[in-house]
Amino acid sequence: MQYQELGDSGVEVSEVGFGAWVVGTDWWGDRSEDDAIEMVQYAVDQGITYFDTGDVYGHGRSEELIGQALADVRDEVTIATKVGYDFYNNPQAGHGELPKEMAPEYLREAVEKSLDRLAMDSIDVLQLHNANVDEITPDVLELFDELEEEGVIEATGLALGPSIGWLAEGDLAIEEEFDSVQLVWNVLEQEVGNHFLETIEETGSSTSLIPRVPHSSGILNEQVTPETELGEGDHRGFRPDEWYETGWEKLEKLRFLERDGERTMGQASIAWLLSHDPVASVTPTFRTKADVDEWAAASDVPKLSDEELARVDDLYENDFGIDRDDGMDALRSSVDGEDIQSAGLDKLAAD
């Protein structure tokens, strides 16, 4: 496992991180809490030191379990969490999005409650969760500065999701030099990541990018195939059939990234993301110890060659030669799609 600094915060993260949205929730199918804790601890044994949770996951239960699982190695790991959804005063309806609350007073109280659940004195990385661009106010930025000065947090981040869009929010976080911006980004869904690479280059910002969904919800690691029946509660079932059908065709055109005995497609998908300098850590969705074994090793597989990277670019620029709607053309943005349209993009991914 290789390790990188998050922004210029001094906080170190493993190049492969653990997305703890699978801990304390049923969004990826049922698992016992004991199994979840065991897998988190197993990930530490494989060199993973970056663990990313959120207060809304399981309405606090993910944080509690992460705190329990990592209590004995607290000084050896980096813990990130997210605040901004008010699950305290609003019931959850299935996978529907809860109301957000980004007032500084609420956020400070939410951080204190997260610390209690994690049973920790400080949070390594505090992220605003799906904040709209107009919610990242000077007062919120001042709160983050105060929390850093008080030693409550070590680094700042913005976690972006498709329910609000991406570009204006991520651009603002990069311009304000947040230490990290988390986003959905993979070989099949590149628009947003490519845009932020340009923003970082143009601004000279030190912000690190943290991609999630590196396997495009199971296609690139072949955990979702034409024969797969997704279980009840598995949120990937909300993607349209057309998206999976085109995805399987694209996968076949990416087979050149595999190297027998040296690099699997699942590892290549992570290595492709790590080939971009601003990427500090990639957080796949682990379901089993076998996943941890394979993907944690992606930090050390042979790097993609310039020729391989160029072939990926060419395929993507030409939509993999597939002239068919993939069912994902709906724009999602907090500014009614204007930022996406002005960037020349015609679609974004759902996570």
Instruction: Please write the tens of the pLDDT for every residue from 100-158.
Output: 899 999 999 999 999 999 999 999 999 999 999 999 999 999 999 999 999 999 999 99
For residues 79 and 51, the answer to whether their CB atoms sit within 8 Å is yes
Q: What pLDDT, on the 0 to 100 scale, is given for residue 87?
A: 80
Q: Predicted confidence band at 196 (pLDDT cuts at 50, 70, 90)? A: very high
Question: 269 in the Ramachandran plot: left (φ > 0), alpha (ψ -120 to 50) or beta?
Answer: alpha
Q: What pLDDT, on the 0 to 100 scale, is given for residue 339?
A: 54
- How far apart, in whole angstroms, are the C-alpha atoms of residue 94 and residue 16? 30
Average pLDDT over residues 228-247: 65
Q: What pLDDT, on the 0 to 100 scale, is given for residue 348?
A: 38
Q: What pLDDT, on the 0 to 100 scale, is given for residue 260?
A: 84
User: Which of these, 123, 250, 127, lies nearest to 180 by C-alpha position?
Assistant: 127
For residues 139 and 175, the answer to whether their CB atoms sit within 8 Å is no
* pTM reported for the whole predicted model: 0.89
Q: What pLDDT, on the 0 to 100 scale, is given for residue 349?
A: 34
Q: Please indicate whether residue 222 or residue 237 has the higher confidence score (pLDDT).
A: 222
Residue 268 has pLDDT above 50, yes or no: yes
Strands 50-52 and 180-184: unpaired
Average pLDDT over residues 201-215: 96
Q: What pLDDT, on the 0 to 100 scale, is given for residue 239?
A: 63
C-alpha dihedral over 350, 227, 234, 42, to 10 degrees?
-100
Tell me the pLDDT tens digit for each residue of 48-87.
999 999 998 888 999 999 999 999 999 999 999 999 988 8
Q: Predicted confidence band at 243 (pLDDT cuts at 50, 70, 90)? A: confident
Average pLDDT, rounded, for the chain? 87
Q: What pLDDT, on the 0 to 100 scale, is given for residue 328?
A: 56
Q: What pLDDT, on the 0 to 100 scale, is given for residue 343?
A: 54
Residue 160 has pLDDT above 60, yes or no: yes
Average pLDDT over residues 216-229: 78
Q: What whole-number percentage of the chain has pLDDT above 90?
A: 66
For residues 158 and 180, the answer to whether their CB atoms sit within 8 Å is yes
Residue 171 has pLDDT above 70, yes or no: yes
- How far apart, in whole angstroms, are the C-alpha atoms of residue 328 and residue 338? 17
Strands 78-83 and 208-212: unpaired
- Three-state secondary-structure class, residue 81: strand
Q: Which residues pair with 83 in a beta bridge?
A: 128
Tell me the pLDDT tens digit for each residue of 11-50.
999 999 999 888 866 554 556 888 889 999 999 999 999 9
